[in-house]
Structure 1
Amino acid sequence: MTDIVAGVAVPDSAMARAATELVRETEDDLLYHHSRRVFFWGALTGERRGLRFDPELLYVGAMFHDMGLTGAYASPDLRFEVDGANAARDFLASYGVGEREVEDVWTAIALHTTPGVPEHMRPTIALVTAGVEMDVLGLAYHDFSHAQRDHVCACHPRGDHFKEGIIDAFARGTIGKPATTFGNVKADVLALKDPTYRRVNFCSLILASDWRS
């Protein structure tokens, strides 16, 4: 049976069902429900903007976007976004998805914490980030109706402490590889959660390079 939430149908293909099962088995409740909400916010944003997008690709992008925060898919030295993107790429390839479509999902996940860039790219890429920004930052919150927000969150609850919980999840996924936070928003997470963390300064790197001038 197809799930329909806030007027958005969850893709009911074998691939989408497998993605749901894999993510449900891998992520905890907080990340799983967050990932599902990201899909609905992204799809609703696409409808509101009149974008043509593939719901199945958007769904896989949304569901895999935080898989790099889990022990099953985290690498020792890559950004968690890249770990999630790589997991999605392998998953899609196993279903024979085309190279361009795989690249879109990979890019959507890899760039979902890089504000100001994905919104100018193809719909799958733009809408994964739009969904993440709505769920984590509340961006465009008032562009969704009360009914849409209430229905999505009734089906996939935020709980009482989602804000703190998602920050903690980001911290757990990056604290062991702090170098991966250079130049991205997760530096703010470790600055808050890890008293031993020291930011790398971009200008200091320039000035300390081996170039004479």
Structure 2
Amino acid sequence: MTDVLVLPSGLLPDAILSITRTSESPPIAEHSIRSFLYARIRAAHEGTVADAQYREDLLFAACVLHDLGLGSLAQGRTRFEVEGADLAAALLTEHAVPAADVDQVWEAIALHSSHGIADRRGLLTYLTYTGVFMDAGRFTDGLDDGLLRQVRVAYPRPAGDRSVRDAIADHAARSEAAAPPYSIGAELLRQRRAEANTAN
């Protein structure tokens, strides 16, 4: 891997970065970029970069857009993963991305928090899920720590950062549809309310 930090460029990647950075808080936008870089490292480590299914353009879209449902464009009408997937699909469709590719990105985003499912739904969904959770410290065993350190230095994560967790709970609080039973949104909202009750 020559330079792990180089991001794709062009009209669509620029639009993806723009919508992410303007609609999400800076910590969440940086989490999304780190997720892509980590997913790229994982793909290189596992040798799937040479796989016919590997599409870095789609991986960039899925990872960088995966938390659109936690940004200012989301209405809180459904769970954040699905709302983000819908927003991402709309952006890609506007840029004439083929419907089959849009559908792959939609699935990767909609399932990115689904343990036990995402890793069984094809390479793009698996890598998106893995990149997201690598940023939470999982799935890093055996990887080149020098490459991981480059990502952490270029896009540092503040110590004790709870921005993603807090944003998920905020989104879930907006409507019953945004926090269906047993979803991660419902669980984080339940934890928040339990902590508030304990504090009182």
Tell whether the 8 Å contact from 1:6 to 1:147 is kept in structure 2 after alignment: no
* Superposition RMSD in Å: 2.1
| 1:58 alignment partner in structure 2 | 59
- Pair 1:157 & 2:156 matched: yes
Tell whether the 8 Å contact from 2:4 to 2:37 is kept in structure 1 after alignment: no
Cα distance in structure 2, aligned partners of 1:83 and 1:38: 19
Structure 2 residue matching 1:142: 3-state secondary structure: coil
Amino acid aligned to 2:133: E
Cα distance in structure 2, aligned partners of 1:134 and 1:50: 17
Q: Aligned-pair distance for 1:89? A: 0.5
Cα distance in structure 1, aligned partners of 2:62 and 2:39: 10
Structure 2 residue matching 1:126: 3-state secondary structure: helix
Percent pairwise identity: 26
Cα distance in structure 2, aligned partners of 1:121 and 1:76: 26
Cα distance in structure 1, aligned partners of 2:135 and 2:3: 15
Q: Aligned-pair distance for 1:177? A: 2.4
Q: Aligned-pair distance for 1:8? A: 5.1
Q: Which runs of 5+ in 2 are unaligned?
A: none
Amino acid aligned to 1:43: R
Q: Deviations over 1:142-165 (max 9, x none)?
A: 232221221101111101222x33
Cα distance in structure 1, aligned partners of 2:176 and 2:56: 34
Equivalent runs, 1:20-35 vs 2, <5 Å: 20-35=17-32
In structure 2, the CA distance between the partners of 1:149 and 1:5, relative to structure 1 (3 Å rule), is farther
TM-score, normalised to structure 2, is 0.87
- Pair 1:192 & 2:198 matched: no
| 1:175 alignment partner in structure 2 | 173
Most deviating of 31-40 and 166-175: 166-175
Amino acid aligned to 2:145: H
Amino acid aligned to 1:60: A
Q: Deviations over 1:73-94 (max 9, x none)?
A: x233211111110111111111
Larger Rg: 1
Amino acid aligned to 2:164: I
User: How many equivalent pairs are there?
Assistant: 191
Cα distance in structure 1, aligned partners of 2:67 and 2:181: 18
Equivalent runs, 1:67-82 vs 2, <5 Å: 67-72=68-73, 74-82=74-82
Amino acid aligned to 2:153: A
Cα distance in structure 1, aligned partners of 2:2 and 2:29: 16
Equivalent runs, 1:1-213 vs 2, <5 Å: 7=4, 9-51=6-48, 52=51, 53-72=54-73, 74-136=74-136, 138-162=137-161, 164-179=162-177, 180-195=179-194
